[in-house]
Structure formats: structure tokens, C-alpha cells
Amino acid sequence: MEETDGKYRRNVNFGFEVTVVQKQHQKTGELTQGTVKRILTKSQHHPHGIKVMLTNGKVGRVKNILLKNLNIHRVFWPFVFLISNSKFFSYFEISIFPKIF
């Protein structure tokens, strides 16, 4: 399984840039690019891709996860975990996180 495989929920995160196929474009395979706002699929795997809602309100199944997301995910999320488990979380939450998001 590749990290860019949109069939697995663990590969899809909020804020990721992805390409999706909307229901009305399934026959043509037309892709729509956008940023994940909500993950709609509850299961951990779906053979046609995890269903998401993009920030522009469009809904579709993830076909590709753009590679620029993977570098942010590998570096940033371990940092958040370490900070959240320390007594300095409130300082970082106030001073750093609003600038990132």
C-alpha cells in the first residue's frame, strides 16, 4: 500500500490537497482538485476511494493524494504529538498553531 493511495482512510487527512472523482464524473473519470474539509467514509478501506468533502463543498472519492502533503504530515504531526503531551502546550497552542492554520 502506498501513502498516496486514496483507498485507505489512514492516508487521508484534513487539509490535504487531493484529487477526487465526483459521482457525476465517474464514467468519464474527470478529476477535481481540492483540499479535504471532511472525511465522509467511516470504514478504513473502500475499493473506489475514501469519500471526502472538499473545502469548496464538492464531494467525491479520493483518487490521488498530492505528494506535497506527505512531507508536512511526516514532520508536523510528530511535533504536535510531542507538544500536546508536554506542559508547554498552551504556550505553543497560542503562539504557533494559529500562524500555521
43-77: per-residue pLDDT in tens? Answer: 999 999 999 999 999 999 999 988 665 555 444 44
Mean pLDDT of 14-38: 93
- What are phi and psi for residue 99, nearest 5 degrees? -75, -30
pTM of the full predicted structure?
Answer: 0.67
Q: What secondary structure letter does DSSP report for 44?
A: S
CATH class, 1-66 region: mainly beta
What pLDDT score was predicted for residue 95? 42
Element of type H or E holding 54: strand 51-54
Which residues sit opposite 64 in a β-bridge?
5, 19
pLDDT beyond 80 at 99: no
Domain boundaries in the chain? 1-66, 69-101
Cβ atoms 33, 68 nearer than 8 A: no
